[in-house]
Amino acid sequence: MTPSWRKPVGMLLILALLLVWCVAIVSLSRMVGQWHWTLQLIFYVAAGIAWLWLLPMRRLLLWMETGRFH
């Protein structure tokens, strides 16, 4: 059984996308920091869930395991 090239490539893509996502969210921190703490909590939880389920992370993990995006 030969190792798949998709896993190392996928991990590099995950790290790159995570870096971009973190920079995008942190760039909003001045605006979000002025909100009430409950709104901040909702924003950061929603941003985390969006990263895991709505944006490329879910499909990228699926591609790493199966070789398909859906």
pLDDT mean across residues, the chain: 87
pLDDT score for 69: 76
pTM metric for this prediction:
0.72
Q: Using pLDDT thresholds of 50, 70 and 90, give the confidence band for residue 27.
A: very high
* Average confidence (pLDDT) over 60-68: 87
- In angstroms, what CA-CA distances link 15 with 6, 21, 25? 14, 10, 15
| Residue 62 and residue 69 in contact, taking contact as beta carbons nearer than 8 Å | yes
Give the three-class secondary structure for 30: helix
- In angstroms, what CA-CA distances link 48 with 51, 52, 56? 5, 6, 12
